[in-house]
Chains A and B, each alone.
Chain A
Amino acid sequence: MMKKREISKTLMYAVLVIYAVVSLFPFVWSLLISFTPMTFKDAQGIERGVDIMQWPPEIDFFELPPHFFGAPATAENYREVFNIAPYGRWILNTLIYSALVTFANLIFDGLAGYAFARLRFKGRDTIFGFIMATMMVPFPAIIVPTYLLISNMGLINTFSGLVLPKLSLVFGIFLMRQFFLNLSMEIEEAAIIDGASIPRRAFSIMFPMAKPAFIALGIYTFLNTWNDFMWPLIVTSKKEMFTLTIGLNFFKGSFFTVWPYMMAATMLMTAPMIILYFVSQKYFLEVNVSSGVKG
Chain B
Amino acid sequence: MSLRKKESLYGYLFILPVLIIIGIFMIYPIIMTFWYSFTDYDGTAQSKFDMLFVPEDALQFHFGEFIDDLRAEDASRLEKIFDSVLLIEMDIGVKLSEEQKSGFSNEYFNIEKIVDDFLNRNLAEQITVKEFLEKYVEGKGRGLIYYKPKFTGLDNLSKAFKDPYFWTSLKNSVMFSLIVVPFQTLLALLLAVAANQKIWGQKFFKTTFFIPSVTSSAAISMIFSLIYTKPGILNQIIGITGMPPVDWLNDPNTALGAVMAMNIWTTAGYFMVTYLAGLQQIPASIIQAAQIDGASPARIFWKIIVPLLKNQTVYIVTMGIISTLQVFDQIYMLIKNLRNVTLSFYIYKNAFEYGDMGYASALGVVLFALVFLITFIFKRIYREERVVEEVKR
Chain A residues with CB under 8 Å of chain B are 8-9, 12-13, 15-16, 19-20, 22-24, 26-27, 29-30, 33, 53, 55, 107-109, 111-112, 114-116, 119-122, 124, 127, 131, 134-149, 151, 164-165, 167-168, 170, 173, 197-199, 202, 223, 226-227, 229-230, 233-234, 244-246, 248-249, 252, 259, 262-263, 266, 269-270, 273-274, 276-278, 281, 284-285, 288-289, 291-295
Given A23-B269, A289-B273 in contact, is the A127-B15 Cβ separation under 8 Å? yes
Q: Which residues of chain B are within 8 angstroms of A147 by Cβ–Cβ distance?
A: 351-352
* Minimum Cβ distance to chain A for residue B259 (Å): 14
- Docked CA distance A108–B277 (Å): 29
Q: Within the complex, which residue of A16, A53, A122, A270 is in contact with B231, where a contact is CB–CB below 8 Å?
A: A53
Q: Give A246 to B332 CA distance when docked, in angstroms.
A: 11
Give the docked Cα–Cα distance between A273 and B356 (Å): 37
Given contacts A142-B26, A142-B30, A229-B328, contact A20 B205 (CB under 8 A): yes
Instruction: Give Cα distance in the complex from A27 to B212, angstroms.
Output: 9
| Cβ contacts A to B, 18 pairs, < 8 Å | A107-B17, A112-B14, A112-B17, A120-B7, A138-B322, A138-B325, A141-B326, A142-B33, A144-B36, A148-B32, A148-B46, A244-B218, A245-B216, A288-B277, A289-B273, A289-B274, A292-B312, A292-B316
Contact A111–B194 (Cβ < 8 Å): no
Question: In the complex, what distance in Å separates the CA atom of A42 from the CA atom of B317?
Answer: 54
Extra 19 A-B pairs, beta carbons < 8 Å, given A229-B218, A289-B274, A292-B275: A9-B199, A12-B194, A15-B191, A20-B209, A23-B212, A53-B229, A115-B10, A134-B26, A135-B322, A138-B344, A141-B347, A143-B364, A148-B357, A168-B22, A229-B328, A230-B328, A245-B216, A263-B222, A293-B277
Inter-chain CA distance A270–B212, complex, in Å, is 10
Pick from A27, A119, A269, A295: contact of B311, CB below 8 A: A295
Q: Is the CB of B219 within 8 A of A124?
A: no
Report whether B14 and A170 are in contact in the complex, using a CB–CB cutoff of 8 Å.
no
User: In the bound complex, what is the Cα–Cα distance between A8 and B4 (angstroms)?
Assistant: 60
Q: What residue in chain B is nearest A265 (Cβ atoms)?
A: B222
**Structural contact, A274 and B237, CB atoms closer than 8 A:** no
Are B361 and A144 in touch, CB under 8 angstroms?
A: yes
